[in-house]
Amino acid sequence: MRPLPHPARISRPRRISRLLALTVLALLSSVLAVPSPGTGTADSPGHPREDARPQAAATGPDGTAAPRGYSYGPHPRQRLLAFAPGGRPDPGHRTAVLVLHGGYWSMERSRHWTVWSSRFARAGFVVFDIDYRRNVDAPWPGPRDDVRRAVAWVRARADRFGVDPRRVFLVGSSAGGHLALSAGLLGHGRQRVAGIVGLSAISDPLRSWRDAADGGTPGRRRLHAGARALADCGPAACPWVWADMTPARHASGRDDPPVLLVHSRHDFVPAAHARALTRALRAAGAPPRDTTVVTVPGHAHGGPLLDRPDAFTHIVTWLRR
């Protein structure tokens, strides 16, 4: 076997090649040692690392910059997409709109929410499309806790996103509307959010349960099953859980943020939900100007209400007031 050459006898080109190889190996080792998003870091044990990688295509559906994804908690569903606003920059003074998708508390976020969130961003809002644990991931109050956690996450990073922390709004659709109302009206809600918009919001899960007692429409039957799974028990077995799931039970009057509730005339979640909640809020002392119910023609439910120019314009005007 030939002896290894003395270091002094190794040619300069070969020494350079070896140095380059060692450098490449060191870089690869450092990359592989980086913790994956959501696992936490040594500097913040137990807290997820913020993931700034795009979670969508390079551009949005309208050609604008794609939203960027972040973790606001350790669970895989505690994620949000941030949409940059359109128009001229206004650092620190933008209104934040946190949108909450529906789907009977059990469905995935619809791809349509990327379009609707982009529409709000083009209107000048900083938009956060919030995902949350479903009723199959965590029973009540898990999804409500997620919404409150997402609100706190956005407010804590107001400077980073150019948001006014006093102007954080919740916009929820159907089951997402229920979560928006539940999180926004709990305790001193006005200190956390500036207002709540409910699109076909399920203001009373117990009413939805009863509406399907005689069969009802397919949508109402799915609400019946979804509410049962969310509570993880029937109303007779755990009435205290169903009471806590009812936003009106947390009405506190002037501590509640303003509420705008939008339904279609033939919505399978009827506007009676909104009117009952409005009565409860006013009975608790909320000023009449702080509760608004809007009914539009048609059968649209939840997010598709945003496709109606009259409804979308009304919501944007309300958010800008």
Domain spans, the chain: 68-320
Q: Tell the CATH topology of 68-320.
A: Rossmann fold (3.40.50)
Rounded Cα–Cα distance for residues 9 and 5 (Å): 6
Q: What is the dihedral of CA 28, 29, 34, 36, to 10 degrees?
A: 70
For the chain, strand residue ranges (E) read 68-71, 79-83, 94-100, 126-130, 163-173, 195-199, 259-264, 291-296
Rounded Cα–Cα distance for residues 314 and 264 (Å): 14
pLDDT digits (tens), the chain, 321 positions: 444 344 344 344 444 344 334 343 333 333 333 223 232 222 222 223 333 333 333 445 555 568 999 999 999 999 999 999 876 556 668 999 999 999 999 998 888 999 999 999 999 999 999 999 999 999 999 999 999 999 999 999 999 999 999 999 999 999 999 999 999 999 988 999 999 999 999 999 998 888 776 667 888 889 889 999 999 999 999 999 999 999 999 999 889 999 999 999 999 999 999 999 999 999 999 999 999 999 999 999 999 999 999 999 999 999 998
User: Which is it for the CA torsion 126, 127, 133, 135, positive or negative?
Assistant: positive
Q: Hey, is 69 helix, strand or coil?
A: strand
